[in-house]
Amino acid sequence: MADRPDAARRADLQLDQPSGTRSFAQFLRFNPDAIGHYAELIARFLGTGRYLAIQTIIVIVWIIINVAWVALRFDPYPFILLNLAFSTQAAYAAPLILLAQNRQADRDKVQAEEDRARAAQTRADTEYLARELASLRVAIGELATRDFIRGELDRLVPPDDEAAARRKKERKRRREQQAREAAAD
């Protein structure tokens, strides 16, 4: 079993055929997602107060060393080396920040498409439920309600006692109350 990987590797190495030429572009193959990830990390660090504080301290120390200590002076007054360092930093920071913004824009676009799809599905579900609710209301509206049946029975059988008269008054009061509640809604 342990011989199989070695045998497979040896089978891949065909010594009787010349190896292909490698171009310079093959050496420069990078994973764009990995580069973008690191670009975002750098861009996030460059946008923090911590970075600004560190950079300010470095610049102050740089200037103090080059102005106060004659023996350690490695970048005299116009601070050309410091300007070169800032220019190099800006030359690298700007494309990294743009790359991070492009990746964020791509993520925002995907998120917006997902939100649109979710909203469309929610709208379709809401419309379906509204249609179902409307059909239930129509179906219930066609059914005979308890009050309707009692009213029809009372109409067919005239009330001959006080209890029937009280029930009729109570039903009338309930209908009026329901009408007031319906009007309030």
What tens digit of pLDDT does each residue of 13-41 get?
555 665 666 666 666 677 777 777 888 88
Average pLDDT over the chain, rounded to whole?
A: 79
Three-state secondary structure call for residue 41? helix
DSSP 57-77: HHHHHHHHHHHH-STT-SS-T
Q: What's the mean pLDDT in 131-152?
A: 78
Q: What's the mean pLDDT in 133-157?
A: 75
DSSP label of 13: -
Three-state secondary structure call for residue 10? helix
pLDDT of residue 75: 80
pLDDT of residue 111: 94
pTM greater than the 0.75 cutoff: no
pLDDT of residue 1: 46
DSSP label of 23: -
